[in-house]
Amino acid sequence: MQLAIYGAGSTGCYLGGLMQLCGHKVSLICRARIRDSIMNAGGITLTDYTGQNEKVVPSALITRLTDETFDAVFVTLKCHQLEAAVDDLKQLAEDGAQLFFMQNGLDSLDAILNELPSHAVKQGVIPFNILSQDNAHFHRGTEGTLLFRQTSVTQQLAKQLGAIGFPCELHTDMKPVIYGKLLLNLNNALNALANQPIKTQLENRKLRKVYAAAQREWLEVANMEGVELAQFTAVRPSWMPAILSLPNWIFLRLAKAMLDIDPHARSSMWEDIKLGRKTEIAFLNGAIVKRAEKLGIDVPVNKKITALIHKIEKGETVSLTLLY
């Protein structure tokens, strides 16, 4: 298949590299900075916390679309970058590509859905954490199963990715999946605020209890909306806040799989803040706040987390004690 990654940054380059390993021709549609880094490095290096170390060369590096056509395009832009890309995405869809939007959070497609052919719009979820290192090196720090809307394209991909050790799940209804992923993504902002590796943060009960409180609020909102969250871990979504709130001597025994991650892994929002980029807080904790207001529900923890991230985006210093 002719595949492309649109908005190839850390996550997109890693995903594109996996697809290239499956034998597909994968084009990376990216900024000139990414193109130059890959060219200078002679390809993309993929590593992970389990010992993976592969180097692949993308079929093409594209900084401006002309007349390229693809069977499928996986869109890995940040949520707030989608609207500016709508003309390109419309062109790709009209030329026959299925568009798989791989964004975290809620409502990311609202601003562009009316501009795109509805039959071409699909969603997917990348559950693991990828950090960019020097020389076009992209490192996966956590585990997870790739999830896609079921189509003929993703049926083929799922078999091939599974064969190289990357399990996939296919779904006909992505809403419970997106909602379930958000339950985990509520740690993105908290990890950025804590300014420490995810593993270290999860070993801190005070911080886990804040994470648990944010999850309880989201579970209440989702329940009011009548959506049952998809399960991403060995623990049912409704049990996660209770597990996170346990004393360390119990939690550290029960959560061995959760803590079996790269000791240096951090959230993508931490990386955004470090590099002075706009975050996706409006589509994560901020989206919960908006939904809760419409439903008449109070979500004080997600509201505080959202406000603190906005302050950091403005260059202000914040204190975690405001969350305890």
What local confidence, expressed as pLDDT, does residue 252 receive?
92
- The residue from 151, 172, 193 where one domain ends is 172
Same domain, 61 and 160: yes
Task: Decide if 324 is inside a domain.
Answer: no
- CA 262/CA 247 separation, integer angstroms: 23
Collect all residues with Cβ–Cβ distance below 8 Å to 111 and sequence separation of at least 6.
82, 83
Residue 323 has pLDDT above 90, yes or no: no
What local confidence, expressed as pLDDT, does residue 257 receive?
78
Q: What is the CATH number of the domain that holds 266?
A: 1.10.1040.10
Same domain, 236 and 212: yes
Residue type for 269, please? Answer: M
Same domain, 198 and 303: yes
Residue type for 190, please? Answer: L
**Average pLDDT over the chain, rounded to an integer:** 94
Q: Per-residue pLDDT tens for 119-148?
A: 999 999 998 889 889 999 999 988 889 999
Task: Decide if 321 is inside a domain.
Answer: no
- The residue from 172, 201, 219 where one domain ends is 172
Task: Decide if 75 is inside a domain.
Answer: yes
Same domain, 158 and 287: no
N-terminal to C-terminal alpha carbon distance within the chain = 51
105, 79 contact by CB (below 8 A): yes
Q: What is the mean pLDDT of residues 225-254?
A: 94
79, 104 contact by CB (below 8 A): yes
- The residue from 114, 141, 172 where one domain ends is 172
Percent of the chain with pLDDT over 70: 100
Q: Per-residue pLDDT tens for 277-310?
A: 999 999 999 999 999 999 999 999 999 999 999 9
Cα–Cα–Cα angle for 2, 59, 50, nearest 5°?
95
Q: Which residues sit opposite 27 in a β-bridge?
A: 4, 60
Q: In what order do the strands lie in the sheet with 53-56?
A: 53-56, 44-48, 137-140, 130-133
Task: Decide if 57 is inside a domain.
Answer: yes
What local confidence, expressed as pLDDT, does residue 119 receive?
93
Same domain, 47 and 145: yes
What local confidence, expressed as pLDDT, does residue 56 receive?
96
Residue 159 has pLDDT above 90, yes or no: yes
Radius of gyration of the chain (CA): 19
Provide the token pair at 123.
Answer: 């969603």
Same domain, 146 and 279: no
Task: Decide if 125 is inside a domain.
Answer: yes
Q: What is the mean pLDDT of residues 222-238?
A: 94
Same domain, 164 and 269: no
Task: Decide if 164 is inside a domain.
Answer: yes
Distance from the Cα of residue 121 to its chain's centroid: 18
Using CB atoms within 10 A of its CB, is residue 95 exposed (0-12), middle (13-18) or buried (19+)? middle
Task: Decide if 320 is inside a domain.
Answer: no
Residue 239 has pLDDT above 90, yes or no: yes
Structural domain of 211: 176-315
Collect all residues with Cβ–Cβ distance below 8 Å to 108 and sequence separation of at least 6.
79, 82, 101, 283
Q: What is the mean pLDDT of residues 82-105?
A: 95
- CA 145/CA 161 separation, integer angstroms: 10
Q: Per-residue pLDDT tens for 39-68?
A: 999 999 999 988 899 999 999 999 999 999
166, 159 contact by CB (below 8 A): no
Give, for 185, the enclosing helix (H) or strand (E). Answer: helix 175-194
Same domain, 193 and 139: no
What local confidence, expressed as pLDDT, does residue 183 receive?
97
Same domain, 226 and 121: no
Q: What is the CATH number of the domain that holds 53?
A: 3.40.50.720
pTM for the structure as a whole: 0.92
**Domains of the chain: total:** 2
Phi, psi of 317 (to 5 degrees): -95, 135
Residue 261 has pLDDT above 90, yes or no: no
Distance from the Cα of residue 115 to its chain's centroid: 24
Same domain, 225 and 97: no
Task: Decide if 322 is inside a domain.
Answer: no
Q: What is the mean pLDDT of residues 214-218?
A: 98
